[in-house]
Amino acid sequence: MRDHHARRIRRDRAVHAAVAQGLLDPYRTPVAAFVDVEGIARTAAELLAAWPRGTEVLHAFAAKANPMVPVLALLLRHGLGCEVSSPGELAQARAAGFPAARIVLDSPAKTQAELAEALRDGIALNIDNFEELERVDRLVADGTAAVRVGVRINPQVGLGSIEAMSTAGRTTKFGIAMADPGNRERLLAAYAARPWLRWVHVHVGSQGIPLELNAAGVAEAVRFAQEVNARRAGQIEGIDIGGGLPVDFSKDEDSPTFADHVAVLRQAAPELFGGELKVVTEYGRSVMAKNGFIASRVEYTKTTGGRAIALAHAGAQVAARSVFAPRSWPLRVLAYDRHGLPSTAELEVQDVAGPCCFAGDLVARERKLPKLATEDIVVVPDTGAYYFSSPFQYNSLPMPPVYGFEVSEGDVVRFHVLRAAESIEEVVARSGVLPAGLR
């Protein structure tokens, strides 16, 4: 299914076709999410092409950004690995078909069972702290082989613009703090005593981290690896550089690109490209954000205190982050008419509200948009990562359906159900049962 449409054109075709094919039925399914199947292939190809051939690299997609099994399966098909941080994500990665050799397990709170399973199966593991290291010691002492095991360092290079997304501050909860008194020596001694510790992991943070800060963290990991190798040549097999390439939510084009990231890393940490170290990356948001969108019918419109408000079905249940922290996570909202064509109505300042019963459930505040009317469609682009794939169960709103789409020659759009709409019966089933003893 090849075509050369830009992302925006593919999205416009998909919205129009979704209406024509009854996927946004105002009576039954007023909200749905869409995944750009060709977009995923293109993004994966760009990622693979951005890294030089001389470097052995595994791009382990951070599953938390979009843990849907069919999405993970597409990424596997296009040559990626998978980074997981919980038993659920590990099971999703396995269900998508990832072999253990392409899976990396992080998480700051791995249980004994998770550690034992990962070591047993040869899944790469990044240890968060000295206590976890002692647990792994006990498993190794019991005879489990330790392959692809590393330690996450916190290079303490500083915070980005969103503190909750910054993982390399002075007191951040992740990893071993390299600038704290004694830690560097203690960790060097730990590597010296354990020849099986062969990786170094760093993840400076997610959205809001400048590329230079990210690269400074990676450079710190490389420096540490060189110190380990100075004591025992060749001990460090590779560096896991984490993810955190920011996404520009204000436009359709990717910026920065994977190639931009590689260019900054080449400056800050040239040894990463020398051919002696393997590399793992853990990009999440930058792989999927622009390959998904949410579309909702407008149910009603009204004016309150002089403010035009459109009440639609895309709110906190599919866009929790932007609803609760709108300044950190602004999203575009695009207006389409009831037939799914870009709206040509006059511009007006409006709020676009979701269906949840709290006043802050807005995906756009005082936004100048074509004047919305009942049955029009609002599209929230750039929501392929961390939005509809990690829904919020507030108000018992069901998970909307997710469709993959492909636009072929002649603009025929084919949809594939990636996740069926959650039924009301399923909502009831996940809400518990009064046990016989309490009846």
Ligand X SMILES: *Cc1c(COP(=O)(O)O)cnc(C)c1O
Instruction: Decide if 126 contacts 105 (C-beta within 8 A).
Output: yes
Beta carbon of residue 286, minimum distance to ligand X (angstroms, whole number): 6
Residue with smaller CB distance to ligand X, 244 or 370: 244
- Nearest approach in angstroms of CB 397 to ligand X is 25
172: left (phi over 0), alpha (psi -120 to 50) or beta: beta
Q: Three-state DSSP class for 315?
A: coil
- By the criterion CB under 6 A, which residues form the site for ligand X? 62, 64-65, 83, 106, 203, 206-207, 242-245, 282-286
Q: In the complex with ligand X, which residue's Cβ is closer, 173 or 231? A: 173
In whole angstroms, how far apart are CA 404 and each of 98, 182, 189, 244, 407?
20, 51, 50, 25, 10
Give the separation between CA 150 and CA 230, rounded to whole angstroms: 17
284/381 with CB nearer ligand X: 284
State the minimum distance, in angstroms, from the CB of residue 237 to ligand X.
Answer: 19
Given CA atoms 111, 112, 117, 122 in this order, what sign does their dihedral have? positive
Nearest residue (CB) to ligand X, 206 versus 389: 206
Beta carbons within 10 angstroms of residue 121's beta carbon:
14
Phi and psi (nearest 5°) for 221?
A: -65, -40
In whole angstroms, the minimum distance from the beta carbon of 408 to ligand X comes to 30
Q: How far is the CB of 319 from ligand X (least distance, A)?
A: 16
CB of 43 to ligand X, least distance (A): 12
Integer Cα distance of 131 and 116 in angstroms: 15
Which one, 16 or 64, has the nearer CB to ligand X?
64
| Least distance between ligand X and beta carbon 174 (Å) | 7
Spatial contact of 334 and 341, defined as CB atoms under 8 Å apart: no
* Residue bearing tokens 């099986």: 196
Least distance between ligand X and beta carbon 282 (Å)? 3
Q: 206 or 317, CB closer to ligand X?
A: 206
Q: Which is nearer to ligand X, 283 or 405 (CB)?
A: 283
Instruction: Choose between 282 and 382: whose C-beta lies nearer to ligand X.
Output: 282
Residue whose CB is less far from ligand X, 258 or 336? 258
Measured from the CB of residue 101, what is the shortest distance to ligand X in angstroms? 18
Q: By C-beta, is 31 or 216 nearer to ligand X? A: 216
Tokens of 348: 């007006």
| Polymer length in residues for the chain | 439
Give residue number: closest CB to ligand X.
Answer: 284
Provide CB contacts within 8 A for 352, sequence distance 6+. 309, 310, 312, 333, 362, 363, 364, 367, 369, 372, 378
Helix locations, 271-312, DSSP H: 285-288
- Least CB distance to ligand X at residue 195 (A): 25
* Contact (CB, 8 A) for 316 and 277: no
- Extract long-range pairs of 228-235: CB within 8 Å, 24+ residues apart: 228/188, 228/191, 228/192, 228/200, 231/188, 231/191, 231/192, 232/191, 232/192, 232/195, 235/191, 235/195, 235/197, 235/198
Contact 124, 83 (CB under 8 A): no
